[in-house]
A and B are shown apart, each in its own frame.
Chain A
């Protein structure tokens, strides 16, 4: 049995795949704890998980898109998060005495704590943001990010310069994507691609399943939580793109109540839907390209139309297109007809679904949360943690991936 301490950011999309791994380790008989906000983590990690509390601080909202978003991600989020959580992370390490830390790439305080205590640690990549070195062609931007990592290091009281890029543990990097999607990572050497770690989420009970007409095809439109001005225009265009397709298509749009007035009969607008339950019934997903949505769709062999907005979404969109599993449109300004054509292409051209099928197979082979858990166990063993006790019954249903 080993002891694993998990550290992420207060972002649902980051915590979900890590929580699937944590649950798997727990079911395999290990001691697992989280360092973070009790109120934020509890609904995601479940009632039985141990949470070593660090108070949640509000962060100011930053720019949503472009290089300005990169700037505010670091100056407004990653750097302050590292600074304010470091004392709490240190307390959690002292109290829980982990054998291994599992640290979100953007939760840099975890990297500092691991170094200070000489602990083996794994970087966890719940987004694709850092995996492809997106700023490789912009040396001054990469240098600017390294300056920030250096400043976090120094402010944390550690001597000299960081010995390596703190987003990448020298021991292990676990990425929740698959080789068939990213085309394999040329770098770093210690990366393992385990595929998505899908988790069942509390789902709204009242989805009108009887509304789905088996004689028509089905598309889900989900573009995440957006500022109203950004989303209103997109919803209007996607509704117009869908409007003439009622004879062959039904669409479900995830959007807050009232954002889409008077949708046509073949469009259902709901603030929340049971996405994973719906996936097996879908023929296409229109998405902003968050890694979770992309992977959930592909894990069910559903092809995508991706309209990326920010962060790693353009990277994910490019990967979906390169893999042949979908089309890409610009989020803002793409006219109604090209939007409709992009959707009809993935619906009508079987090559997109065939490519999505290949990715599903690759995800299944990658192993998901159980594979991630095994890599973490191996890391603990290598660094001399006591070998684990026999597996408790129930380990077989450790993860709730389906498809």
Chain B
């Protein structure tokens, strides 16, 4: 449970946490302060990728999953000490503004940019993600790698990301999450400990993140559960935290010098491992696109359905029914909503809601279908819906 006091107090706590653990994380994990990514069955302690290669890989996986374009103007929300941002600026030729609540992290990231000769492509600032001061539509990509779970007001984050993106711009998120559905008392206690030690307000589920993105007005929202791919990050032999666990005197010294909060860093390993092992903790990527014409959706007169409208509607349908239908037999213009997909009323309502948000409030899919007879309902195709949407122009 997060009270208002705690929300107000959290940003300073996050700032303090990363200020005080900066060197610990860097010594342990290098410049990537986030999970690694491994193939199924790959064991890091045997012949698998080491931590550094795996954290590099996670960045590449998110680039691929969200289709981050080379050379894009990127806002990196929660940039840490700049590991991912410098990859985006270097290998991908992006221009990156990185923001973090920790002034020490921002300073360290700027040092690293200098060392890499990337100061013209990457700069780092101490800023609050919900109060950046950037103008509407500044960025082509908003990138948030393991920062969303620190932000108490996630709806505000998605709304702000939408504002900061240009139409057609991409949101790329990878985040800690909790499983869907209610937790047992035992699970709740475990999650509570993780939150406390990691200075996080609460966790939401991957499905909730998708919903928040849609509610904010994003289109083409999708997410992927990467829990199995990243769980090795907490492998005890590998996470190297054991070394600290046994160094009691080191921990006492740290706690004396930096305050007791710093010890949260050492508790993360076993708690997270337990969280992943029992399925309570999840980890996922999310991608979403700011709709072209989203600004105008509020003002239907200006909405301009794109020329590839049937394809867009097919994508929305795939999302609504949650099926993997990519490929030659996927959803196309001639796919029938009832006749082929057996779309149910709740799913039709969800599709109608998406269309209305994207292309204007005059769109009334339920009304369209209510006017059809039984044979017309069976025959209704994606192309028919596209023609209806286009016809409301």
Contact = CB atoms under 8 A, between A and B. Distances in A.
Interface of A: 65-68, 70-71, 134, 137-141, 144, 310, 314, 318, 330, 332-335, 337-338, 341, 344-345, 348-351
A333 B324 contact: yes
B324 A335 contact: yes
Give the dominant DSSP class at A's interface.
helix
A334 B373 CA distance: 30
A66 B342 contact: yes
B378 A341 contact: no
A147 to B, nearest CB: 10
Contacts of A351: 181-182
B353 interface: no
A267 B321 CA distance: 29
B114 interface: no
A135 B324 CA distance: 29
Nearest to A134: B345
Interface of B: 179-184, 225, 279, 321-325, 338-339, 342, 344-346, 366, 369-375, 377-378
A141 B374 contact: yes
Contacts of B225: 337
B374 A71 contact: yes
18 contacts: A65-B342, A66-B378, A67-B377, A68-B378, A137-B370, A138-B370, A138-B377, A139-B370, A140-B372, A140-B373, A141-B374, A333-B321, A333-B324, A345-B180, A349-B182, A349-B184, A351-B181, A351-B182
B326 to A, nearest CB: 11
Nearest to A71: B374
Contact of A137 (B180, B324, B339, B366): B366
Counting chain B CB atoms within 10 Å of each CB, the highest count among A138, A310, A338, A345 belongs to A138
B322 A344 contact: no
A67 B181 contact: no
B223 to A, nearest CB: 12
Q: Which of A67, A68, A141 has the most CB of B within 10 A?
A: A67
A110 B186 CA distance: 57
Contacts of A318: 346
B166 to A, nearest CB: 33
Contacts of A140: 370-374
Contact of B378 (A67, A333, A338, A348): A67
B323 A67 contact: no
B104 to A, nearest CB: 39
A203 B63 CA distance: 57
Nearest to B321: A330
Contacts of B370: 137-140
Nearest to A68: B378
A183 B338 CA distance: 27
Given A138-B369, A341-B180, A349-B184, A71 B322 contact: no
B95 to A, nearest CB: 36
Nearest to B349: A137
A140 B374 CA distance: 7
Contacts of A350: 184
Given A140-B374, A310-B342, A332-B342, 13 more contacts: A65-B342, A66-B342, A134-B345, A138-B370, A139-B370, A140-B371, A144-B373, A314-B344, A334-B323, A345-B179, A349-B181, A349-B184, A351-B182
A140 B369 CA distance: 10
A67 B374 contact: yes
A70 to B, nearest CB: 7
B373 A333 contact: no
Contacts of B321: 330, 333
Nearest to B375: A71
A344 B323 contact: no
